[in-house]
Amino acid sequence: MDAFYASVELLRYPQLKGLPVVIGGSRRREDEALRHVPEGGTLADIPVETFPLLRDYVGRGVITTATYPARPFGVGSAMGLMKAAKLCPQAIILPVDFDEYRRFSRIFKKVITNAAPVMEDRGVDEVYIDFTVVPDGQLEGGRVLARRIQRSILEATGLTCSIGVAPNKLLAKMASEFEKPNGVSIVYESDLETRIWPLPCRKVNGIGPKADEKLQRFGIRTIGELAARDRSWLIENFGKATGAWMHEMAWGRDERPVVTESEPVSMSRETTFDRDLHAVRNRAELGAIFTHLCEKVAEDLQRKGYVGKTIGIKLRYDDFKIATRDQTIEQFTADAKTIRLTAGRCLKRVPLERPLRLLGVRVGALVKAGSQEARMAQVGSTARAEAEAAMTASLF
């Protein structure tokens, strides 16, 4: 989806179309005070002048999305809001509203599965579609179906998206960025040399800042330069798995299937404080936040029907270093009290001298609530061993 969060906001506030707008930070009381709907009007009637500006922003947070008119100023995803305010003070800033983005996410994904059922969810604004066997999927290299999907999404949501069509996920992902926004780009295997090799390695899904830096140290800047290296050289310098993957990727090869179903592995809640907090000096405040995070994770687990048995915490210190601790317990749980107790024990094992800027709680090793695994663990470990033995015996 194109500038997804910002585009959803523009559906509510069409008066902001064409203006630099950034989405980021959390909901602030000032926002509510500034923007009130005129008598007998709608959100669309709120005067542009009453929207909060980036120049007035104080506090922590990053940009999640910037509209296209904001981007020439150099602001974009993951940039700190205070820095963005220097680059584009006149931009309008809106707080994130995940519930609304998730609502539109469900709608556009439904439109897609109606047209092409083999869809892999890649987060709130992105999917892979396998339309190998969809009727008309091969017409004009896929362009006909891609345009049809774009039209259906636009009709259902008012939002635009960009689609990359290619023989595999690796190339499709790169192709999807070629014609943003509202574009369709088709990449054939024969386009490798001309359209993929000139791209910087960083464009590959899976090459992040660290890997890119290491590649650059070897003088490798483009995918083509990567493809020119021997497979054995890559394995020597990047390890067996990564080296082999790099070689395959540079030659445009990717056999990963489009995965339509998956189970969650973990669920977590974390929060960055308005100001750094100290474990001793701000004990009460931290304790309340900690308990609240545990309750939210428990709620999430219960709402979605999962239980887990690895409970963990995450801290981010004022120097931005991260520490995690976790503990695996005997029984699967989705209970706030149990999570709080176990997370509390984790907290006792981590250094608490430095001020903290973030606290998080995580529950992992998830299984479906009421599943065989969850039930077996619930009868206790000795009984579980017996139950397992009984199950093994029953196989024969």
Partner DNA sequence: TCTGGGGTCCTAGGACCC
Question: Is there a catalytic annotation at residue 126?
Answer: yes
Find the helix or strand (DSSP H, E) in which 238 lies. Answer: helix 231-238
Using the rule CB under 7 A, is 61 a contact of DNA?
Answer: yes
Q: Residues 255-294 vs DNA: string with x where CB under 7 A?
A: ---------xxxxxxxxx----------------------
Using the rule CB under 7 A, is 100 a contact of DNA?
Answer: no
Phi, psi of 20 (to 5 degrees): -70, 120
Phi, psi of 77 (to 5 degrees): -50, 140
Using the rule CB under 7 A, is 237 a contact of DNA?
Answer: no
Q: Which is nearer to DNA, 82 or 118 (CB)?
A: 82
Instruction: In whole angstroms, give the CA distance from residue 67 to residue 83.
Output: 17
The residue from 81, 88, 149, 153 that contacts DNA (CB under 7 A) is 81
Instruction: In whole angstroms, give the CA distance from residue 173 to residue 3.
Output: 16
Given a contact cutoff of 8 angstroms between Cβ atoms, the answer to whether 291 and 339 are in contact is: no
Q: Which is nearer to DNA, 65 or 150 (CB)?
A: 65
Instruction: Considering only residues 32 through 51, tell me which ones interact with DNA, judged by CB under 7 A.
Output: none
Q: Residues 12-31 vs DNA: string with x where CB under 7 A?
A: --------------x-----
Number of residues that bind DNA (CB under 7 A): 60
The residue from 77, 237, 302, 378 that contacts DNA (CB under 7 A) is 77
Query: Exposed, middle or buried, 325 (CB in 10 Å: 0-12/13-18/19+)?
Result: middle
Instruction: In whole angstroms, give the CA distance from residue 168 to residue 277.
Output: 47
Q: Is 320 left (phi over 0), alpha (psi -120 to 50) or beta?
A: left
The residue from 244, 323, 341, 369 that contacts DNA (CB under 7 A) is 323
The residue from 36, 86, 151, 256 that contacts DNA (CB under 7 A) is 86
* Stretch binding DNA (CB under 7 A), from 30-38, 78-86, 141-149, 163-171: 78-86
The residue from 328, 337, 383, 388 that contacts DNA (CB under 7 A) is 328
Q: Which amino acid is at 57?
A: Y
Shortest CB 78 distance to DNA, Å: 4
Shortest CB 266 distance to DNA, Å: 4
Catalytic residue (one of 126, 248, 270, 373): 126
The residue from 11, 34, 82, 156 that contacts DNA (CB under 7 A) is 82
What is the per-residue burial (b if ≥16 Cβ within 10 Å, else e) of 195-228? bbbebebbebeebeeebbeebeeeebebbbbbbe
CA separation, residue 256 to residues 169, 170, 249 (Å): 7, 9, 11
The token duo for 370 is 């009421």
Shortest CB 61 distance to DNA, Å: 4
DSSP 49: G
Given a contact cutoff of 8 angstroms between Cβ atoms, the answer to whether 322 and 315 are in contact is: yes
Active site residues: 126
Q: Which residues bind DNA (CB under 7 A)?
A: 26, 59-62, 64, 77-78, 80-83, 86, 122-126, 173, 204-212, 239, 241-242, 264-272, 300, 309-310, 312, 319-328, 346, 349, 357-358, 360, 365
